Chains A and B, each alone.
Chain A
Amino acid sequence: MTRVYDMGGRFGDGAVVPEAEHVKFHADWHPRALAITLACGSLGLWNIDISRHAREGLSPNDYGRFSYYEKWIAALADLLVETGALSRDELERGAADGTSDLAEKRLAAAAVAGVLAKGGPATRPSNVAPLFAVGDTVNIRSMPENVMVPGGHTRLPGYAAGATATVIRLHGAHVLPDSNAHRMGEAPEPLYAVALKARDIWAHPEHPEDEVILDLWQSYLAAP
């Protein structure tokens, strides 16, 4: 478990600093970075798992020193080059070679409200039957890694790996990020909310009854 973005339970961070509700952005370029990223999503070149993997795939050095929207912009530039939408040469020169073949997919101002309202649901029909029911005890995979792709994307946090948990909710079948992030198909399977006792995962839990709950895919779980 040495992934820079997998922060749950890490020691050494300072205080959390509350913030007034009216503060939305901290620099003029932040809303621009947000909007460019969302607008490029409409080009259809990647899915949410690919874009998360691109942010998480930044080098630990860059991930650590970049602010939130810097990560977004860096991952976006990397994805645009990886998908052939832009060239390295264009990025370096700061100028385009010409109009893109993808221009017809450009998000129009009039379409923004509809696109945001439509969302992108991750539930899918699946022929993978649920193996677990609410109340069942399950063992979480001990290796928080993608089992299909070395170094690949996964949504299993390191702190939960190997823990015993209780199923408290079945969310239905969802797209499997471990597959979808690598363009290997959506591979939908059951997704569960499972509860871990804080005392089972931390050496110094704050309270005997505290719990952490996380959403895990069926292939991350096994019967005890």
Chain B
Amino acid sequence: MPHDHADHDHPHSLLPPDPALRVKALETILVQKGLIDPAALDEIIDTYENRIGPKNGAHVVARAWSDPAFKAALLADADPVLAGMGYYGRQGEHMVVVENTADVHNMVVCTLCSCYPWPLLGIPPGWYKSDAYRARAVREPRKVLAEFGVTLPEGQAVRVWDSTAEVRYLVLPQRPEGTDGMDEAALMALVTRDSMIGCGLASAP
């Protein structure tokens, strides 16, 4: 028994028990074998730390708030519209945008894993990947929303989208009151990551 692991049949139990050492050990072996290039790892990390994030989604939302024809095209068939903005890519190959209205509030979860629209929102936040969110979002979305400080009007139904396939969902939040005349850049600043998952609302100006 090389390490104190619960599962001795799986090869992963042969790696060191400490997660940081485990990753380091695997990286070392893979580099020695010529299977990964450390420079490529740095490039991937830089991409998701600095280049791809919720600003992309906010750009889409602000444009949809500003341009009715764009919004109509986005809601009808998001993929070509998003590809045209340069937001196509891994974990966002099949996008559907769902609009919040006075009648319906949309919210997104993946109960089986943590599927999420990476090209538009970056990698998911910790809570999106948590057991609690995955377990509870489908059964008690309003209690979960309350934990984000959101209380919906009684007349507004909740639609929870469970991303079980490769299809990824982006919520188009309601445009806040008092934003008439604001340009796309100013609107973008009101669009939060959580509002595009449906666990928050767009910020007031």
Contact = CB atoms under 8 A, between A and B. Distances in A.
B53 to A, nearest CB: 8
Interface in A207-221: 207, 209-217
Given A18-B194, A78-B10, A91-B15, A5 B112 contact: yes
B94 interface: yes
B94 A122 contact: yes
B161 A21 contact: no
Contacts of A118: 89-90
A40 interface: yes
Contacts of A29: 19-20, 23-24
B123 A13 contact: no
B92 to A, nearest CB: 7
B111 A6 contact: yes
B12 A9 contact: no
A86 B112 contact: no
B200 to A, nearest CB: 8
B180 interface: no
B160 A213 contact: yes
Contacts of B139: 8-9, 159, 198, 202
Interface string A5-37: 111111111111111010111111101111110
A113 to B, nearest CB: 7
B142 interface: yes
A106 B131 CA distance: 34
Interface residues of B, number: 90
B165 A24 contact: no
A19 B28 CA distance: 32
B34 A18 contact: no
A32 B41 contact: yes
Interface string B106-141: 000101111000010011011101111111101111
A74 B10 CA distance: 9
Contacts of A107: 36-37, 40
A109 B15 contact: no
B142 A206 contact: yes
Nearest to B42: A109
Interface string B82-100: 0000001111111010000
A86 B36 CA distance: 13
Interface in B141-193: 141-144, 147-148, 157-167, 192-193
Contacts of A212: 138, 159-160, 162
B47 A112 contact: yes
Given A28-B20, A213-B162, A191 B14 contact: no
Interface of B: 2, 5-7, 10-12, 14-16, 19-20, 22-30, 32-37, 39-45, 47-49, 53-54, 88-94, 96, 109, 111-114, 119, 122-123, 125-127, 129-136, 138-144, 147-148, 157-167, 192-194, 199
17 contacts: A7-B135, A8-B139, A11-B135, A16-B136, A24-B122, A35-B41, A40-B35, A73-B26, A76-B26, A80-B11, A88-B11, A98-B33, A102-B34, A103-B34, A111-B40, A159-B138, A214-B162
The 7 closest A-B pairs by CB, nearest first: A103-B34, A8-B111, A96-B32, A209-B157, A215-B165, A74-B12, A109-B39
